[in-house]
Amino acid sequence: MHSTLTQYARCLYGDEYGPTPECGLEHREHHFVEELTFADADSLLAMVRELCPHLVDGHLPVWVRNLAYRLALLQRPEDPVLIREAARNLWLHGPDWDGIAAELEQRTEALEAG
pTM comes to: 0.92
| Long-range contact pairs involving 55-61 (C-beta distance under 8 Å, separation at least 24) | 55/88, 55/89, 55/92, 56/92, 57/16, 58/15, 58/16, 59/13, 59/14, 59/15, 59/16, 60/9, 60/13, 61/13
- pLDDT digits over 75-109, tens only? 999 999 999 999 999 998 878 999 999 999 999 99
Q: Where are the domains of the chain?
A: 5-113
Q: pLDDT band for 27, please (50, 70, 90 cuts).
A: confident
